[in-house]
Amino acid sequence: MRVSGLRSLSLLLLLTTAAARAESGDEDGRVPGGHQLTVYGRAGAMAYLSDAQTIGGVGGGVGLRATFQERFILQADVSYLMGIKNVAALRLGAGIQRRGTYTPAVLLNLSALMGDRLAFLTPEHPTPLRGPALALGVSIAPLRFSHERAQVSLLELGVGVGSDLPGLGLSLQLGLLEVGVSF
């Protein structure tokens, strides 16, 4: 995925948020029924490690989060990572957070890393792997805070597992900063 594809996806996320805000007609960004949409930017690192491949890097991205009843979270984000070379990371997550100003969260994530990688030929994998490195994992965000329409997370740690068939891979995620604004 090239940078222009990431820009297009970012623009789509922003337009979707603007459309949802226009439909809600609510000044504080809360949709009737207890929904809240948040656009966020994030910075961090992701890696997928297995006997057959290594892919990942450090970078940033944008995402869209829906919060229901100030507690339940659904989110999607896309990131551009640099390290080995160029990598695009997509994450889908669902989880729960604490209500109030201090809002730590736990999420179940499905992640896909696509792009340049280091491939290793083994007896189980005599040819390089193709396609994204998929992983299912859990992440915790112990330092999250919300105030009115602003949200900040200073740390997010995640670990997951993926399958390279045969064999498993380890997915690691580190979020250093995430800043969001609700609409």
What does the pLDDT look like over 8-51, one tens digit per residue?
A: 555 545 545 554 454 444 444 444 458 999 999 999 999 999 99
Contact 14, 39 (CB under 8 A): yes
Check whether 96 has a pLDDT greater than 60.
Answer: yes
Question: What does the pLDDT read at residue 84?
Answer: 75
User: Please, which residues bridge with residue 8 across strands?
Assistant: none
* Average pLDDT of the residues in 107-113: 98
Q: How far apart are CA 168 and CA 170, in angstroms?
A: 7
Question: What does the pLDDT read at residue 180?
Answer: 98
**Helix, strand or coil, per DSSP, at residue 23:** helix
Give residue 166's pLDDT band: very low, low, confident or very high (50, 70, 90).
confident
Q: Which of 8, 88, 22 is nearest to 55 (CA)?
A: 88
- Name the token pair of 94: 């669902």
Domains of the chain: 3-182 (2.40.160.20)
Q: What pTM does this model have?
A: 0.80
Contact 177, 154 (CB under 8 A): yes
